[in-house]
């Protein structure tokens, strides 16, 4: 299969040689008849290279893994770690599940929304920060919590800490 298009030409996505090698490495971890088990790892690689998982990427990956496109889409939409459209340089996921709700999670989301002048599920007008509600981040004892760029957990986030975080992200974004 071509890097840039499937045999039927229905996908216009390409990947670097390094990413293609990483796809192969992930698929090789499973027996050939179970190559679809690499879908989460491969979606992660797609997002690392392109910043999000596009419909074309889903189609390409479905063909590559030999699975229905809807199955790839179901995985991509089930996990909030996958961005289905371009996002800002920073993505803030605010936990709004029950434990965080009871300790101010929804208020934290509303505070960030107001401070950033953006609705949840959207990216700021400067393209720097994406604000997302999250169903559960698994740190209930530290509520309210949020996750920055799917890697950095922030706990006990009151308004002062939220403001400091946003200021730090703006400062870091201005330096690049």
The string of pLDDT tens digits covering residues 160-170 is 999 999 999 99
Structural domain including 23 reads 17-78
| Same-domain status, 99 and 130 | yes
The answer as to whether 10 is a domain residue is no
pLDDT band at 85 (very low <50, low <70, confident <90, very high): confident
Same-domain status, 118 and 164: yes
pLDDT recorded at residue 51: 85
Tell me: pLDDT of 7 over 80: no
- 1 lies in a domain? no
pLDDT in tens, 34-66: 999 999 999 999 998 998 999 999 999 999 999
Q: What is the pLDDT of residue 5?
A: 43
Domains of the chain: total: 2
Distance CA 14, CA 18 (A): 12
Say if residue 155's pLDDT is above 70: yes
pLDDT at 68: 97
Q: Is 166 found in the same domain as 96?
A: yes
Mark which of 78, 105, 124 sits at the end of a domain.
78
| 71 and 94 co-located in one domain | no
> 74 and 105 share a domain?
no
115 shares a domain with 68: no
Q: Are residues 97 and 70 in the same domain?
A: no
Two structure tokens written together for 36: 């679809």
On whether both 112 and 169 belong to a single domain, the answer is yes
Residues 104 and 165 in one domain: yes
Q: Is 170 found in the same domain as 109?
A: yes
Give the pLDDT of residue 2: 43
Average pLDDT in the chain? 90
Residue 21 pLDDT greater than 90, yes or no:
yes
Determine the pLDDT at residue 146.
95
Residue 144 φ/ψ region, left for φ over 0, alpha for ψ in the -120 to 50 degree band, beta for the rest: beta
Q: Note the pLDDT of residue 32.
A: 93
């Amino acid at each position: 299969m071509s890097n840039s298009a499937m045999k039927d030409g229905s996908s216009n996505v390409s990947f670097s040689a390094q990413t293609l090698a990483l796809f192969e490495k992930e698929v090789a971890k499973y027996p050939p008849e179970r190559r679809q088990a690499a879908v989460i790892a491969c979606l992660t690689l797609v997002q690392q290279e392109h910043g999000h998982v596009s419909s074309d990427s889903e189609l390409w990956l479905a063909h590559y893994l030999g699975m229905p496109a809807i199955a790839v889409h179901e995985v991509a939409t089930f996990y909030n770690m996958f961005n289905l459209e371009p996002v800002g340089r920073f993505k803030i996921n605010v936990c709004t599940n029950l434990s965080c709700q009871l300790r101010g999670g929804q208020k934290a989301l509303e505070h960030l929304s107001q401070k950033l002048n953006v609705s949840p599920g959207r990216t700021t007008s400067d393209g720097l920060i994406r604000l997302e509600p999250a169903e559960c981040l698994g740190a209930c004892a530290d509520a309210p919590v949020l996750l920055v760029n799917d890697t950095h957990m922030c706990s006990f986030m009151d308004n002062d800490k939220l403001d400091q975080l946003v200021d730090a992200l703006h400062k870091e974004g201005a330096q690049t």
